[in-house]
Amino acid sequence: MIEVGVLGATGTVGQQFIRLLEHHPWFRVTWLAASERSAGKRYDELAWRLATPLPAGVGALRVAPIEAVGDAPPLLFSALDSSVAGDAELAYASSGRLVVSNARNHRMDPLVPLLIPEVNPDHVGLLDVQRTARGGAWATGGIVTNPNCAVIVVAMVLAALRPFRPSRVLVTTMQALSGAGYPGVPSLDALGNVIPYIGGGEEEKIEKEAGKLLGDFDGQTVRPAPFVVSAAVNRVPVPDGHTVIMSLDLAAKPAIEDVVSALDAFTAEPQKRNLPSAPPKPIILHRAQDRPQPRLDVAFGDGMPVHCGRVRPCPVLGYKLVALGHNVVRGAAGAAVLNAELLVARGLAAGSATVPAATSGRRG
């Protein structure tokens, strides 16, 4: 078992890391860090806000302060808030830790892989470039990121449709409350309401990160994909699950049925490698006209697949569809866990050797 730590262990995404790693066949959580307010306390003294019980074994861990770099294990998951993630992750990386981060701070750094194993597994090559460029202890550490929770849904669809050459993409999102963390959106603003805005540059993140994710990696740098993305984001009173309405221009002008088939048949390296957190099918295609829906679909497969439905012609751009993903799992903690699994499987993480190929089977 590879010992791992969680940075930012007390927030919505941090708690999800702990839940997802509970029965992980490769990773065992042995170290937690959080902000001053929680540092020094046992983890089970802090509020656990998930609907599943606090995993045994984690409750007794004492929470370290973010600054305790020297005590951390070599592999870390970061759920740090962007207000502190920038510097903190640099400190861990430069001390030889491999930080698999959900924070936005380093995503667009040209040396940092922005990774979705189903979309751009070859971008892990950037980690070697990064390690060489930074040198020193960093050569065994580094930073690898996953994209914004809404982008993951968009990028998975675009990856499946890559053969048809997407050129223009218009996305309108209806994003869940858990995407804002805790305490997040006040209930008086959320209940019975739509807020047509999300702070922190949400629309810009979607518009830029999608390009990097589907870009070409030439062994040194990533050249952004040549499509244009426009995003309009909204907060809706849904607990978990970002719904994304997409209209696309596909340069290859495929028939609608071919778009459907491409989404349905999509599979990628995590599925081939049978990584523990990889969903058997990365995209679940729905044929009922009123699906996917967050309430009915988001928990499926423990939140790791992306769902698609209502693939149909768009009078303006050619194609339109509905996509859905679990923002805290596939869009955050689960994304990072899958990234770490890919790094281990490719031998890029300390401890990779300890994971025998034989054990790399998917979890029950």
Task: Characterize 230-256 residue by residue with b for buried, 16 or more Cβ atoms within 10 angstroms of its Cβ, and e for exposed.
Answer: ebebebbbbebbbbbebbbbbeeebee
When asked if residue 108 is in the footprint of its own copies (CB under 8 A), the reply is no
Nearer to its own copies, 68 or 288 (CB): 288
In the complex, the smallest distance separating the C-beta of residue 133 from its own copies, rounded to whole angstroms, is 31
**What's at 106, amino acid-wise?**
H
When asked if residue 315 is in the footprint of its own copies (CB under 8 A), the reply is yes
Site for its own copies in 31-50 (CB under 8 A): 49-50
When asked if residue 296 is in the footprint of its own copies (CB under 8 A), the reply is yes
Rg (the chain; Cα; Å)? 19
Q: Is the peptide bond before 224 cis (omega within 30 degrees of 0)?
A: no
Q: What angle do CA 140, 11, 360 make, to 5 degrees?
A: 50
SS3 197: coil
| Only segment of 27-35, 92-100, 151-159, 295-303 that touches its own copies (CB under 8 A) | 295-303
**What's at 25, amino acid-wise?**
P
Nearer to its own copies, 121 or 305 (CB): 305
Catalytic member of 242, 286, 307, 326: 242
Query: Could you tell me how many residues of this chain bind its own copies (CB under 8 A)?
Result: 62
The residue from 56, 60, 188, 353 that contacts its own copies (CB under 8 A) is 188
When asked if residue 59 is in the footprint of its own copies (CB under 8 A), the reply is no
The residue from 51, 60, 353, 358 that contacts its own copies (CB under 8 A) is 51
When asked if residue 310 is in the footprint of its own copies (CB under 8 A), the reply is yes
| Structure-token match 């959080």, residue found | 34
In the complex, the smallest distance separating the C-beta of residue 129 from its own copies, rounded to whole angstroms, is 29
The residue from 110, 136, 196, 280 that contacts its own copies (CB under 8 A) is 196
The residue from 82, 187, 354, 359 that contacts its own copies (CB under 8 A) is 187
**What's at 64, amino acid-wise?**
A
Nearer to its own copies, 82 or 230 (CB): 230
Binding mask 219-248 for its own copies (x = CB under 8 A): ---------xxx-x-x-xxxx---x-x-x-
Q: Which residues contact 323 (CB under 8 A, 6 or more apart)?
A: 153, 154, 156, 157, 243, 244, 246, 292, 306, 307, 308
Active site residue 149: yes
Interatomic CA distance for residues 115 and 123, integer angstroms = 7
| Only segment of 115-123, 183-191, 217-225, 254-262 that touches its own copies (CB under 8 A) | 183-191
When asked if residue 306 is in the footprint of its own copies (CB under 8 A), the reply is no
Q: Is the peptide bond before 292 cis (omega within 30 degrees of 0)?
A: yes
In the complex, the smallest distance separating the C-beta of residue 176 from its own copies, rounded to whole angstroms, is 9
In the complex, the smallest distance separating the C-beta of residue 32 from its own copies, rounded to whole angstroms, is 21
Residue pair 5/27 in contact (Cβ under 8 Å)? The answer is no
Nearer to its own copies, 180 or 345 (CB): 180
Q: Which long-range contacts (CB under 8 A, 24 or more apart) does 253-261 make?
A: 253/164, 253/318, 254/164, 256/311, 256/312, 256/313, 256/319, 258/164, 259/161, 259/164, 259/311, 259/319, 259/321, 260/285, 260/311
Mind telling me the catalytic residues?
149, 242
Binding site for its own copies (CB under 8 A): 12, 49-53, 168-170, 172, 174, 177-178, 182-197, 207, 228-230, 232, 234, 236-239, 243, 245, 247, 289-300, 309-310, 314-317, 320, 322
